[in-house]
Amino acid sequence: MARRIRTEPSRTLAEFRLLPGFTARECSVDQVSLRTLVTAEPESFTLEIPLVSAAMQSVSGSQMAIALGEEGGLAVLFCSQSPANEAAMVREVKAATPASPTATRSADGRFLVAAAVNTHDHAERVPALVDAGADLLFVDASHGHSAFQADTIAWINAHCPTIPVIGGNVVTAEGFSFLVGAGAAGVKVGMGSGSICITQEQKGTGRGLATALIEVCGERDRHTRSSGRYVPIVADGGLVTAKDVVMALAIGADTAMLGRFFARADESTNPKVKFEGRWFKPYWGEGSNRARAWKEARYHQSAFEEGIDALVECAGPLHGMLAESLAMIRASMSTTGAASIPELHRIAELELVSGLSIREGQPHDVLLAPTTPPGAPSDGT
């Protein structure tokens, strides 16, 4: 029989709500800091906003890296391209001059550049990226609790000891400990929850992101208490709205990685397409056939698809999209009484809600006024 059968269902972020706390003057909306850690000591890189764009062909190229870096976030350049192309993207970002005082910078004042690597060609790719100026690497794998991942992290730490590497993805306490033991400076959490992901449907593997974060962040905190070293966590896959980001942070994540959200921005990699009178951007999974030969490097198989090819409605320039979402995150933190992300980790109280209670939180038992755009209350953007 199975080693273990858990009969408690796996939970998604959308099933939780935050309880309000005491809002002191110091945590009014305009005082809330979103500064956060992305890597553990000794190279403790920080971001001014806790948002990271996914390492995907249809999301994070050099334009996204520059635009999101200007906003204080971080794009992870995708590795499903040749090492030479990815290194050229790193160079492009390093050559752009950051303008904003809160842009994400490395010690030399240029943009901090993060790039993804896979577990197949790291011996060739990593030197090319580091030579081009990459500051931080993410191992891009759907299942990070593997011998291939440990080998890749060990190789990077041995050959490029000043470049921190974030491992992933994992969804269990064992997976977290494995990656930290292997030398990861941060851990990415999530499996099967992405908007274009069909891993759960195809293979039956995966976990609700809230449950995964609760278990992994609990293990991280135990690790901090026993070792004195804090390992930041990235929540990845299925974060749709600002409230999902806040919920992931409240559980214990330090940053949130989003694909669909950023694919809608003008600065994502693809041109807009018109469909039935509206403007969209193509958005496809790294495990879809559209990602072609590269999907094997992420999924260790090429016999079937683990992602779909989709469209997402255009949302305009990144700056405007972020202004609204960040205002929501700050307002939510202010209501919980947290003036910073570390404080949110200490004081947040979350509660599982019933389906009826979720319904109660939406407009109900009223007729929408004629001026209200149809569908506005449940619009998932």
Residues that bind ligand IMP (CB under 6 A): 54, 56, 190, 194-197, 199, 236-239, 257-260, 285-288, 306-307
What is the nearest approach in angstroms of ligand IMP to the Cβ of residue 42? 27
What's the DSSP call for residue 221? Answer: H
Q: Which is nearer to ligand IMP, 81 or 340 (CB)?
A: 81
Q: Which is nearer to ligand IMP, 197 or 210 (CB)?
A: 197
Task: Please give the helix or strand (H or E) that residue 124 lies within, else none.
Answer: helix 122-132
150 and 172 Cβ atoms separated by less than 8 Å = no
Q: What are the residues whose beta carbons fall under 8 Å from the beta carbon of 332, sequence distance 6 or more?
A: 18, 242, 243, 246
**106, burial (CB in 10 Å: exposed 0-12, middle 13-18, buried 19+):** middle
Q: Which of 125, 260, 298, 330 is catalytic?
A: 298
The pair of three-digit structure tokens given for residue 98, joined into one six-digit string? 């950051």
Q: Which of 197, 207, 220, 330 is catalytic?
A: 197
Measured between alpha carbons, how far is 250 from 273 in angstroms, rounded to an integer? 37
Q: Which residue is nearest to ligand IMP (CB)?
A: 307
Measured between alpha carbons, how far is 302 from 15 in angstroms, rounded to an integer? 34
Question: What residues pair up with 258 in beta bridges, in sequence order?
Answer: 53
What is the nearest approach in angstroms of ligand IMP to the Cβ of residue 281? 12
E strands, 56-208, are: 74-77, 114-117, 136-139, 165-170, 186-189
Amino acid at 313: E
What is the nearest approach in angstroms of ligand IMP to the Cβ of residue 146? 15
What is the nearest approach in angstroms of ligand IMP to the Cβ of residue 142? 6
Question: What residues pair up with 229 in beta bridges, in sequence order?
Answer: none
Q: Which is nearer to ligand IMP, 47 or 56 (CB)?
A: 56
Q: Which is nearer to ligand IMP, 235 or 326 (CB)?
A: 235
Task: Indicate if 197 belongs to the active site.
Answer: yes
Measured between alpha carbons, how far is 212 from 92 in angstroms, rounded to an integer? 36
Exposure of 24 in the CB half-sphere (CA atoms within 13 A): 5
Measured between alpha carbons, how far is 112 from 10 in angstroms, rounded to an integer? 36
* Helices and strands (DSSP H and E) totals, the chain: 13, 15
Task: Indicate if 222 belongs to the active site.
Answer: no
What is the nearest approach in angstroms of ligand IMP to the Cβ of residue 366? 31
Residue with structure tokens 């609990």?
A: 218
Q: Which is nearer to ligand IMP, 178 or 261 (CB)?
A: 261
Measured between alpha carbons, how far is 166 from 116 in angstroms, rounded to an integer? 9
Q: Which is nearer to ligand IMP, 279 or 304 (CB)?
A: 304
The pair of three-digit structure tokens given for residue 273, joined into one six-digit string? 């397409």
Q: Which is nearer to ligand IMP, 65 or 338 (CB)?
A: 65
What is the nearest approach in angstroms of ligand IMP to the Cβ of residue 99? 27
Residue 16 backbone phi and psi in degrees, to 5: -115, 150
Residue with structure tokens 């709205």?
A: 241
Task: Give the residue numbers annotated as catalytic, written as ranges.
Answer: 197, 298
